[in-house]
């Protein structure tokens, strides 16, 4: 199997896998929203980013590694840190967290294929449509 075919297969897998993720946020370490794919804006993305950053800072004080997940009434939030970014998936509590972590890993890898870590060296944190092409990962 060629490298191109592997990439195509990974892309198809990521499209199928994201069906279980209701909402997705990609945040910088200081809580700035880099990308979001949400069904409905129930909470300000800026407030959500600040909350995740604060929770992670607190979690790092209590234990090594920071926050990996948290639950609310109906939903679970799974957090995957890769490089200097947090990938956060909102899913039903009924779904297997291990499966969601695998999906986040694939999405994070795909994101960094599209936007290598160097992309963020000169990024000032301002709102940009530069990352909007990542939204294709969620469309049929």
3 state SS for 108-130: HHHHHHHCCHHHHCCCCCCCCCH
Determine the pLDDT at residue 87. 93
Residue range(s) defining the domain that contains residue 36: 21-114
Determine the pLDDT at residue 62. 72
**Separation of alpha carbons 99 and 57, rounded Å:** 25
Q: How many CA atoms lie within 13 A of 92 on its CB side?
A: 5
Which pLDDT tens digits describe the chain residue by residue (140 residues)?
444 444 433 444 444 446 788 888 888 888 888 888 887 667 777 777 777 888 777 777 777 777 788 888 889 999 998 988 889 999 999 999 999 999 999 999 988 988 888 887 777 776 556 777 777 766 64
For the chain, the domain total comes to 1
Determine the pLDDT at residue 102. 92
Question: Is 13 a member of any domain?
Answer: no
Question: Is 105 a member of any domain?
Answer: yes
Closest CA to 78 of 33, 22, 37, 132: 22
Domain with 67 in it: what CATH number? 3.30.450.70
């Amino acid at each position: 199997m060629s490298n191109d075919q592997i990439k195509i297969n990974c892309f198809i897998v990521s499209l199928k896998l994201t069906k279980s993720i209701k909402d997705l946020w990609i945040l910088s370490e200081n809580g700035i929203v880099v990308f979001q794919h949400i069904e409905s804006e129930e909470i300000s993305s800026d407030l959500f980013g600040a909350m995740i950053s604060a929770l992670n800072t607190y979690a790092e004080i209590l234990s090594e590694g920071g926050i990996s997940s948290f639950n609310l009434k109906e939903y679970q939030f799974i957090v995957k840190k890769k490089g200097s970014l947090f990938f956060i998936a909102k899913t039903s509590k009924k779904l297997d967290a291990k499966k969601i972590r695998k999906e986040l890993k694939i999405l994070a890898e795909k994101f960094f294929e599209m936007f290598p870590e160097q992309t963020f060296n000169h990024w000032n944190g301002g709102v940009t449509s530069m990352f909007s092409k990542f939204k294709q990962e969620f469309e049929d």
